[in-house]
Amino acid sequence: MHIAITGAAGFLGQRLVHQLLERGELNGQAIRRLTLIDQSEPPVVGRADIEVMPLALDISAPGALDPVLAARPDVIYHLAAVVSAAAEADLDLGMRVNFDATRALLEGCRAQGLSDTRLIMASSVAAYGGELPETLDDLTALHPQNSYGAQKAMSELLVNDYSRRGLVDGLVLRLPTIVIRPGRPNAAASSFASSILREPLGGEEAVCPVPTDLELFVMSPARVVEALVHGAEVPSEALGPFRAFMLPGITVSVAAMLETLREVAGDAALARVRHEPDARIAAIVGSWPARFTNDRARRLGFRGDDSFREIVQAFLDERA
Amino acid sequence: MHIAITGAAGFLGQRLVHQLLERGELNGQAIRRLTLIDQSEPPVVGRADIEVMPLALDISAPGALDPVLAARPDVIYHLAAVVSAAAEADLDLGMRVNFDATRALLEGCRAQGLSDTRLIMASSVAAYGGELPETLDDLTALHPQNSYGAQKAMSELLVNDYSRRGLVDGLVLRLPTIVIRPGRPNAAASSFASSILREPLGGEEAVCPVPTDLELFVMSPARVVEALVHGAEVPSEALGPFRAFMLPGITVSVAAMLETLREVAGDAALARVRHEPDARIAAIVGSWPARFTNDRARRLGFRGDDSFREIVQAFLDERA
């Protein structure tokens, strides 16, 4: 089994790589080769029986992925993306990376005849927006109110059409907001959702740019990686007529997140969160829905976290 | 007022041109100029006070529309498209005309700073598909099961995002199946829906490739043109957070269409319809839903036909 991963140097990509190396197999087959693609060469972690090949590539450059696809990977994880606030700030960059590169990847699969290759793309809750029902389901329209979401929604349609035509075996997982990300704040509009826990838990200050009654739909890094792995194992026949759906996150308000912070780390930790409203961030994140049924995902065996407390505890356990 | 129309030589484009020339004004302003664009030069119909400029252009060629957009049209009707069965047969052609050309048009508007130009694109019921509720509404997801629908759905997202960013003042009208089209059968999967009435009413044979219990969501050419005109007059503020919605068609089964044919033209006319199932056509058209509430369209003042009998009668009146 040969697995290729775009965005492999990213937070999610790295966690996925480690998980795959630890498992050594995917969908019942031994992993022989991992091709790790990112703008700069992803770090290589070794395992004697798996050939790990890091590649520095601009996947939006014409033909950039041809050599990778010519090696006929069995599974492709397409995680590379320009995040929400960055795509909002630069329409051209977002279109090129979030949409054109996805299209080039699909065209490459078509050119190489990779009809049996499982292509798993990460999409996002940011693809939803506008007028919405109280609780969203698998048939709720994507009316994105940010360019990142629009680019992801367009890519979903393309992955679905190429899969329907038998040109690739695609699957798009819409990710909830991932909490708690390690590291530093980034250009994602949802960056604060990790920041307001991670920084205070580490003894640092954090800024909360949104009202505390804002609800988010969140999932832990561990559950997201588990879903990516499971995405390679779901049989094509089970996927149904549209190959994109929301993963089962949990609904939590910013107030409840902060209350969990207080429960776990005390008043001192909570006091490290400064409230500085940012209308731009609040507008983007506020347009993302937070309540979903996830019938399709659950039927296909995808699992969510049990509670927000558990998400925070897992973060602390990992750090320890 | 300067109006540009892509696909102006087509059936809908030509009806729109005639309607605009007859009105002489749009949204309360006198029409001074009509730029008519199609692959081959659209026929010119004169009116002394309106400059009509026909242009033969491949709108999918880079920069092809630049001169038109540099003239800063107030309203653009984007009707050019590769129809459903043709887009299914040739993925590249469909992507180029149905999606890339729309993107180029939006980029051209952006480059020229046409933020106040009302861009009205025609989309289609073919953008819906897959698992669907019994009756669809304005929040039902687009899960297209044909490449034409996927390309239209992607274009919708792009028109919406460019409009949200203030780069153009876009609006997408999803058209029901248009019945009765004049002329001859074409490569649209829905071509039969006009054929099974038009040909028998003209004394000719027609082929019905679908089961008679198939329901369609239909609208007469006159109502569609009326909607296109109205689309230029709806204020931007009223359009809401997603600028694409379904027009109010009426739901009719093929059996009811044929019964109306019999009522209007007798058993002899009905006998001219040969039933020859075509699995490919039935699969495409069968994936299009036929029952909609159209709250948004109606709230915005778009109107549908009153009955299928009226649609047939209007066709006969026009022909007379």
Tens-place pLDDT, residues A211-238: 999 999 999 999 999 999 999 999 999 9
Catalytically annotated residues of A: 148
Higher pLDDT, B70 or A43: B70
CB A240 to CB B131 under 8 A? yes
CB B142 to CB A150 under 8 A? no
B119: closest CA of chain A, how far (Å):
18
Closest residue by Cα to residue B74 from B121, B34, B16, B14? B34
Closest residue by Cα to residue A31 from A11, A7, A3, A59? A3
Quick check: B245 and B296 in contact, CB under 8 A?
Answer: yes
Average pLDDT, chain A: 95
Q: Is residue A136 part of a domain?
A: yes
Which residues of chain B make contact with A132, given a CB cutoff of 8 A?
139
Q: Chain A to chain B, count of Cβ pairs less than 8 Å apart? A: 80
For residue A45, what are the β-bridge partners? none
Angle at B204 between CA B200 and CA B206, to 5 degrees: 70
pLDDT at A184: 87
pLDDT at B168: 98
Which residues of chain A make contact with B164, given a CB cutoff of 8 A?
145
pTM for the model: 0.95
pLDDT exceeds cutoff 80 at B125: yes
CB B131 to CB A139 under 8 A? yes
Q: Is residue A61 part of a domain?
A: yes
pLDDT at A139: 97
Give one word for B307, left, alpha or beta, with left for phi > 0 and alpha for psi -120 to 50: beta
Radius of gyration of chain A (CA): 19
pLDDT at A85: 85
For residue A34, what are the β-bridge partners? A3, A52
pLDDT at B85: 85
pLDDT tier at B2, thresholds 50, 70, 90: very high
pLDDT at A83: 87
CB B161 to CB A142 under 8 A? no
pLDDT tier at B87, thresholds 50, 70, 90: very high
A192: which residues sit within 8 A by CB, 6+ positions away? A185, A206, A207, A208, A209, A210, A281
CB B240 to CB A139 under 8 A? no
Catalytically annotated residues of B: 148
B15: which residues sit within 8 A by CB, 6+ positions away? B221, B222, B224, B225
ipTM value, please give it: 0.95
pLDDT tier at B320, thresholds 50, 70, 90: confident
Q: Is residue A74 part of a domain?
A: yes
pLDDT tier at B305, thresholds 50, 70, 90: very high
Tell me the residue type at A277. Answer: P
Within 13 Å and on the Cβ side, how many CA atoms surround B194? 22
Tens-place pLDDT, residues A15-60: 999 999 999 999 999 999 999 999 999 988 778 899 999 999 999 9
A107, A151, A157: best mutation site toward chain B, by most B Cβ within 10 Å? A157
Number of separate helices (H) and strands (E) present in chain B: 12, 14
pLDDT exceeds cutoff 90 at B172: yes
* Helices B254-271 + B191-201 axis angle, to 10: 30
pLDDT at A187: 79
Q: For the sheet containing B215-219, what is the strand order?
A: B177-178, B215-219, B250-253
Tens-place pLDDT, residues A91-112: 999 999 999 999 999 999 999 9
Q: Is residue A230 part of a domain?
A: yes
Tens-place pLDDT, residues A60-70: 998 999 999 99
> What is the count of structural domains for chain B?
1
Q: Which two tokens stand for residue A93?
A: 């960059």
Average pLDDT over residues B128-135: 94
pLDDT exceeds cutoff 90 at A205: yes
Q: Is residue B310 part of a domain?
A: no
Domain interval for residue A12:
2-175+221-248+292-300
Sign of CA dihedral A14, A15, A20, A26: negative
Tokens 């909609």 label which residue?
A: B292
Q: Is residue B146 part of a domain?
A: yes
Closest residue to A241, CB basis, from B139, B145, B241: B145
A42: which residues sit within 8 A by CB, 6+ positions away? A8, A9, A13, A14, A17, A36, A54, A55
DSSP state of A127: G
Q: Is residue A264 part of a domain?
A: no
pLDDT at A319: 83
Average pLDDT over residues B174-186: 92
Tens-place pLDDT, residues B13-47: 999 999 999 999 999 999 999 999 999 999 887 78
| CATH code of residue B70 | 3.40.50.720
pLDDT exceeds cutoff 90 at A287: no
CB B140 to CB A139 under 8 A? yes
Quick check: A124 and A174 in contact, CB under 8 A?
Answer: yes
pLDDT at B144: 95
Which residues of chain B make contact with A130, given a CB cutoff of 8 A?
240-242
Please, which residues 126-165 of chain A have a Cβ atom closer than 8 Å to chain B? 129-133, 138-145, 147, 150, 153-154, 157-158, 160-161, 164-165
Burial class (CB in 10 A: 0-12, 13-18, 19+), B87: buried
pLDDT at B296: 96
pLDDT at B121: 98
Q: Is residue B51 part of a domain?
A: yes
pLDDT at B31: 98
Average pLDDT, chain B: 95
pLDDT at B120: 98
pLDDT at B92: 98
B221: closest CA of chain A, how far (Å):
28
